[in-house]
């Protein structure tokens, strides 16, 4: 459910380890989930409330701990995510909290009078709980007009912003909006799906407007729009609006609100729209595209004021065609704009996936003619197998070399090497490296990083370091870091000098994360010194570090943990 690598990247090794320990120690207790949202409490120095939702590849959520104010993901959120991963799954794919829902079991065991008294007491102490109860009660007791007005007022009060909301306060703002959305979802179960749809559509607009006044570094806005769409689809499935009219409304929502993503429409609403609604959705999208001028050569979707609408309408039309498996319709959509090799690539990929190599080859040849000297890595990588399957390997080889010669890259170099037998690879590599050196001489150093990268891959470390020195490549660059790692055995002096400078920069910048990173490098230096016979020099360097930075106590105390 939640990718562990993503979590580790988001918080760092130390925070991830602490969150994992919390999970293993049984500190996580789940409460009843709300749709796709996981809710739990985590016992730390205090008990903190956590909400989690996965939006695409991102983790969106909140925690009531102080650390959450300074970071998008805290250790408590990590603990809940890992605990959720360990839960069994229900048929709908959601986590089954099962026996973990102790609070729900307890409440279910209470006599009615005691349960009511407990809830009213909590509502009296917590305004957000009182709001939820008030909305739920009004939805049962009032007429449709009164319910609509009451919920509109609650949405306006929750969403309305007087001043800019800092990212540290965005979670609290989003939580207040979610409380109202949770109550709107209950309307669907109470037979008021039409009202729920109206309210959610208004919420999408208001949240979008409010997003201009919020630092949404933690993705709260995206999470709210996702929640709105979830409720909207649930309500539409019950309300069953006219398919064609609903298709019109969905297109309006997509074009009016950028956050209401077109790429999700067909998958989320396809079954609700049915064949008639999907046909109307596709017709509207194509009609909208007809009104837009074709992109000129070299122009991208992001160019011009109509880029968002063009992207959205294209997605809608293509997803409709893909749903019914109409390959020719998908190609026709892409033929509308052929300003880049990437546009041709999308057609080629579709044809190859559809088993139509002959048509794919024709499109490849057209792209090679139109963009003779503008082939990019991905297009060439897709074209070569098509040539090979057509018995045109020699032509594919010429294309690979021509593309590398005109626009060299590591990906194209790798393609060249893959197409070369073992006996000729050294010759091909030498030719490619010689070509890059000649280009460097003419360009004054442009492309030096690529040359270092290729020399490193060929274990030609002396040559690579000469290029680094000649063109003064920055040590923080990825290629120099890769060369340092690869050549640490053959060139320990280079690694030592670079890593010592990095340590100085990290410690000088301050901060516990930087201190931890510096000590990790220091451990690497100790290993290098042991293997290169310079242990005494390293010991003197460590002593100097401790003396020079003795005022940075959090850095110095980490020396006690070094082996």
CA distance 171 to 62: 6
* The total number of residues written for the chain in this structure: 563
In this structure, what are the phi and psi dihedrals at residue 42, rounded to the nearest 5 degrees? -130, 125
Are the C-beta atoms of 284 and 247 separated by less than 8 Å? yes
Dist CA 52 CA 171 (whole Å): 12
Task: Say how far apart CA 468 and CA 485 lie, in whole Å.
Answer: 14
- Axis crossing angle, helix 193-210 with helix 243-256, rounded to the nearest 10: 10
Q: Kindly tell me if the per-residue pLDDT of 9 is higher than 60.
A: yes
Most confident residue range from 57-71, 146-160, 239-253: 239-253
Burial group, residue 207, by CB count within 10 angstroms (0-12, 13-18, 19+) = buried
* Angle of helix 127-141 versus helix 144-159 axis, rounded to 10: 160
Residue 320, judged by CB atoms within 10 A of its CB (0-12, 13-18, 19+), counts as buried
Contact 312, 295 (CB under 8 A): no
**Gap between the Cα atoms of 552 and 485, Å rounded:** 29
Inter-residue contact 183 to 154 (CB < 8 Å): yes
- Per-residue pLDDT at 281: 97
> Smallest Cα–Cα separation from 100: which of 12, 177, 1, 33?
33
Whose CA is closest to 27, among 50, 38, 43? 43
Position 487 scores a pLDDT of 95
Reported as a single tens digit per residue, the pLDDT across 190-220 is 889 999 999 999 999 999 899 889 988 777 8
**pLDDT surpassing 70 at residue 443:** yes
Check pLDDT > 60 for residue 143.
yes
3-state secondary structure of 39: strand
Q: What is the mean pLDDT of residues 228-251?
A: 95
DSSP designation for 560: G
What are the structure tokens assigned to 550, written together? 């003795």
Find out whether 225 and 178 touch, Cβ atoms under 8 Å: no
CA distances 348 to 76, 301, 327, 380, 418, Å, are 46, 19, 12, 11, 21
Give pLDDT tens digits for 10-53: 788 888 999 999 999 889 988 765 556 788 889 887 888 888 87
- The predicted structure's pLDDT at residue 171: 80
Taken in order 224, 226, 227, 232, the sign of the CA dihedral is positive
Between the CA atoms of 24, 27, 32 and 36, what dihedral angle is there, to the nearest 10 degrees?
-50
Dihedral (Cα; 56, 59, 60, 62), 10-degree rounding: 170
- Helix/strand/coil (H/E/C) assignment for every residue in 350-413: HHHHCCCHHHHHHHHHHHHHHCCCCCCHHHHHHHHHHHHHCCCHHHHHHHHHHHHHHCCCHHHH
**Sheet with strand 38-43: strands edge to edge:** 28-30, 38-43, 47-55, 58-63
352 vs 354: CA distance, rounded Å: 5
Q: For the chain, how many helices (H) and strands (E)?
A: 26, 4
Alpha-carbon 368 to chain mean position: 33
Please report the DSSP string for 296-335 in residue order. PTT--TTSSTTHHHHHHHHHHHHHHHHHTT-HHHHHHHHT
**Residue pLDDT, tens place only, 276-327:** 999 999 999 999 999 988 777 766 656 666 788 999 999 999 999 999 999 9
Angstrom distance (rounded) from CA 71 to CA 10: 9
Mean pLDDT of 499-523: 92
Asked whether the beta carbons of 294 and 245 are under 8 A apart, the reply is no
For residue 59, is it left (φ>0), alpha (ψ between -120 and 50) or beta? beta
Q: Is the pLDDT of residue 542 over 70?
A: yes
Lowest mean pLDDT segment, chosen from 75-79, 97-101, 144-148: 97-101
For residue 73, what pLDDT band results from cuts at 50, 70 and 90? confident
Most distant CA atoms of the chain, gap in Å: 87
How many Cα atoms within 13 Å fall on the side-chain side of residue 371?
Answer: 21
The distance from CA 335 to its chain's CA centroid, rounded to whole angstroms, is: 29
pLDDT in tens, 128-139: 666 677 777 776
């Amino acid at each position: 459910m939640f990718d562990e690598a993503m979590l580790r990247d988001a918080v760092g090794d130390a925070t991830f380890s602490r969150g994992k320990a919390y999970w293993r120690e049984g500190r996580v207790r789940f409460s009843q989930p709300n749709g796709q949202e996981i809710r739990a409490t985590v016992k730390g120095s205090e008990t903190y409330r956590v909400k989690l939702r996965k939006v695409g590849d991102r983790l969106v959520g909140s925690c009531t701990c102080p650390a959450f104010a300074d970071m998008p993901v805290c250790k408590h959120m990590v603990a809940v995510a890992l605990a959720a991963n360990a839960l069994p799954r229900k048929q709908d794919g959601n986590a089954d909290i099962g026996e973990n829902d102790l609070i729900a079991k307890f409440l279910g065991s209470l006599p009615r009078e005691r349960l009511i008294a407990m809830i009213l007491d909590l509502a009296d102490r917590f305004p957000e709980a009182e709001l939820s109860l008030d909305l739920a009660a009004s939805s049962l007791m009032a007429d449709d007009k009164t319910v609509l007005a009451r919920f509109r007022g609650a949405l306006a009060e929750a969403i309305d912003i007087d001043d800019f909301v800092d990212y540290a306060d965005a979670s609290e703002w989003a939580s207040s909006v979610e409380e109202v959305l949770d109550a709107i979802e209950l309307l669907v179960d109470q037979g008021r799906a039409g009202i729920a749809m109206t309210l959610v559509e208004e919420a999408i607009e208001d949240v979008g407007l409010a997003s201009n006044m919020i630092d949404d570094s933690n993705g709260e806005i995206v999470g709210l729009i996702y929640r709105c769409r979830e409720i909207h689809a649930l309500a539409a499935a019950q309300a069953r609006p006219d398919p064609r009219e609903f298709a019109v409304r969905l297109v309006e929502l997509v074009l009016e609100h950028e956050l209401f993503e077109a790429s999700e429409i067909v998958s989320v609403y396809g079954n609700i729209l049915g064949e008639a609604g999907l046909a109307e959705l596709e017709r509207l999208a194509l009609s909208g595209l007809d009104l837009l001028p074709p992109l000129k050569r070299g122009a991208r979707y992001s160019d011009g004021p109509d880029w968002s609408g063009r992207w959205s309408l294209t997605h809608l039309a293509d997803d409709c065609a893909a749903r019914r498996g109409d390959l020719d319709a998908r190609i026709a959509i892409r033929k509308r704009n052929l300003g880049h090799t990437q546009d041709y690539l999308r057609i080629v990929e579709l044809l190859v996936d559809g088993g139509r190599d002959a048509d794919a080859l024709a499109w490849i040849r057209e792209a090679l003619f139109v963009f003779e000297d503008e082939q990019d890595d991905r297009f060439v990588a897709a074209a070569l197998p098509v040539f090979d399957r057509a018995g045109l390997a020699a032509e594919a080889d010429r294309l690979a070399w021509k593309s590398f010669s005109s626009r060299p890259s590591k990906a194209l170099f790798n393609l060249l090497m893959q197409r070369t037998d073992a006996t000729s690879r050294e010759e091909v590599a030498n030719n490619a490296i010689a070509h890059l050196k000649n280009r460097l001489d003419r360009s004054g150093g442009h492309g030096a990083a690529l040359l270092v990268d290729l020399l490193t891959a060929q274990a030609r470390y002396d040559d690579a370091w000469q290029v680094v020195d000649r063109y003064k490549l920055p040590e923080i660059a990825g290629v120099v870091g890769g060369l340092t790692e690869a050549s640490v055995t053959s060139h320990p002096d280079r690694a030592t000098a670079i890593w010592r400078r990095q340590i100085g920069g990290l410690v000088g910048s301050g901060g516990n994360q930087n201190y931890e990173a510096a000590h990790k490098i220091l451990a690497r230096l100790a290993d290098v010194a042991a293997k290169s016979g310079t242990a005494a020099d390293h010991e003197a360097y460590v002593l100097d570090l401790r003396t020079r930075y003795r005022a940075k106590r959090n850095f110095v105390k980490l020396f006690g943990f070094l082996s």
